[in-house]
């Protein structure tokens, strides 16, 4: 079987989408609202003196999805609590009401989008990885996946396995911390832009709203990848397995370490008034609050559903780990025992009608 045919077989396995009808509705709704909110924000910014306060409009897609999720799932106690908390905060300090809504409602919208993205991308990425190093030509998506997960060119990527026994008896704080670190890496560019932008200063009206809004999008960008850590998706080798989530983390460190060092020098150069350092610390606090709250909601309500559907689909198309161990040899594999049956590895990837016995 040729490499191109093998790659085609891999690409065609597991094509049943994990996305449900409600996920498609949520994606379409978010996309439409995101475009409309972006146009509205630009119009307000250019035609009024609202400045960075106009960025609050960009949080509307998350607010709507979060509120709808509370209502659809009939969590009336949570809705009542948010309403009472908002009224109480408005009486004490009206300016803090938006932040209550950001944390309690918009963060729920982030969780909704995280699950949608995971359901849309997980098996597409898996199929790309499995056939990455055996296809004669790589698509742009394959190249992006290779870069994102730092996958070496000399690995037999067909040997992709995961942990089918995922049990949560507590919040995985370690995974949450790594997700937080990814968010901080992305925010280095945010901070560099703000500090190099002459029109931006920490006392600028709407600066905190601007930051909180951006943090919502950053959280949506980094949290979906946690599923690869939860399932311990890895490429099995004869030595040390290559874990995809570790590869992603290494890619982020290589990309953002130089930016982080540049940011450090920039903060030191601009921190004479104390505002710059204060703003960085405040931004980090926002990232921690948003990531922790979104992660707690995700791990307690959404992860089990996503992981369960992934495992059902994985078991259907990977009934046993028949791809692991080919070409490895070594002690304990049975390859050196006389009379051991041998099978062509490429036959594992044939279509059912193409198999020969």
171: left (phi over 0), alpha (psi -120 to 50) or beta: beta
Do 299 and 170 touch, CB atoms closer than 8 A? no
In DSSP terms, which residues pair with 104 in a beta bridge?
none
Retrieve residue 277's tokens: 């350092």
How many C-beta atoms surround the C-beta of residue 73 within 10 A?
Answer: 11
Mean pLDDT (the chain) is: 77
In DSSP terms, which residues pair with 235 in a beta bridge? Answer: 160, 242
DSSP string, 76-93: HHHHHHHHHHHHHHHHH-
Q: Which sign, positive or negative, has the C-alpha torsion 256, 258, 262, 265? A: positive
| 3-class DSSP assignment, residue 130 | helix
**What's the count of helices (H) and strands (E) in the chain, helices before strands?**
13, 3
Q: Which of 26-40, 89-103, 167-181, 310-324 has the lowest mean pLDDT?
A: 310-324
CB 160 within 8 A of CB 233: yes
d(CA 18, CA 4): 26
How close are the terminal C-alpha atoms of the chain, in Å?
15
What would the pLDDT profile of 164-182 be if each residue is shown by its tens digit? 877 776 777 788 888 888 8
> For 123-153, what is each residue's pLDDT tens digit?
999 988 888 877 778 888 888 999 889 888 8
Burial of 261 per CB tally in 10 Å (0-12, 13-18, 19+):
exposed
Q: Is the pLDDT of residue 207 over 70?
A: no
Segments making up each domain of the chain, as ranges: 17-324
Distance, in Å, from the CA atom of 165 to the CA atom of 311, rounded to the nearest integer, reads 9
The 10s digit of each residue's pLDDT in 243-265 is 998 888 888 877 776 666 666 66
Tokens of 308: 């369960």
Is pLDDT at 275 greater than 70 in this prediction? no
**What residues are paired with 160 via a beta bridge?**
235
Q: Which of 96, 13, 12, 8 is nearest to 313 (CA)?
A: 13
Q: Which residues pair with 161 in a beta bridge?
A: 234
Quickly state the pLDDT bin for 36 (edges 50, 70, 90): very high
Calpha distance 207→52 (Å, rounded): 6
- Percent with pLDDT over 70 in the chain: 70
Mean pLDDT of 43-50: 81
Of 114, 288, 296, 263, the C-alpha closest to 211 is: 288
pLDDT over 50 (residue 357): no
Q: What are the distances in angstroms from CA 238 to CA 243, 318, 332?
A: 14, 20, 11
Is residue 309's pLDDT more than 80?
yes
């Amino acid at each position: 079987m040729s490499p191109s045919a093998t790659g085609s077989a891999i690409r065609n396995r597991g094509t049943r989408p994990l996305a449900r009808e409600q996920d498609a509705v949520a994606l379409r709704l978010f996309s439409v609202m995101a475009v409309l909110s972006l146009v509205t924000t630009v119009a307000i910014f250019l035609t009024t003196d609202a400045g960075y306060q106009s960025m609050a409009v960009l949080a509307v897609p998350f607010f709507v999805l979060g509120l709808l999720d509370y209502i659809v799932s009939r969590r009336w106690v949570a809705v009542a609590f948010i309403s009472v908390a908002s009224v109480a905060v408005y009486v004490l300090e009206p300016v803090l009401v938006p932040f209550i809504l950001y944390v309690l409602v918009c963060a729920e919208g982030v969780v909704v989008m995280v699950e949608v993205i995971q359901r849309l991308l997980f098996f597409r990425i898996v199929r790309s990885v499995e056939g990455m190093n055996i296809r004669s030509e790589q698509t742009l998506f394959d190249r992006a996946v290779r870069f994102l997960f730092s996958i070496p060119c000399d690995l037999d990527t067909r040997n992709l396995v995961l942990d089918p026994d995922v049990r949560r008896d507590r919040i995985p704080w370690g995974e949450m911390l790594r997700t937080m670190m990814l968010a901080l890496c992305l925010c280095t560019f945010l901070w560099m832009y703000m500090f190099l932008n002459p029109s931006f200063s920490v006392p600028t009206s709407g600066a905190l709203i601007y930051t909180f809004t951006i943090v919502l999008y950053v959280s949506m960008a980094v949290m979906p990848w946690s599923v690869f850590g939860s399932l311990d998706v890895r490429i099995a080798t004869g030595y040390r397995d290559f874990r995809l989530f570790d590869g992603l983390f290494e890619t982020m460190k290589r990309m953002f370490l130089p930016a982080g060092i540049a940011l450090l020098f920039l903060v030191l150069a601009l921190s004479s008034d104390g505002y710059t350092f204060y703003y960085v610390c405040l931004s980090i606090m926002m990232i921690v609050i948003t990531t922790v709250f979104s992660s707690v909601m995700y791990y307690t309500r959404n992860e089990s559903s996503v992981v369960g559907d992934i495992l059902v689909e994985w078991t259907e198309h990977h009934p046993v780990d028949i791809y692991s161990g080919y070409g490895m040899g070594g002690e304990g594999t049975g390859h050196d025992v006389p009379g051991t049956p041998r099978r062509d590895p490429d036959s594992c990837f044939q279509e059912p009608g193409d198999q020969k016995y």
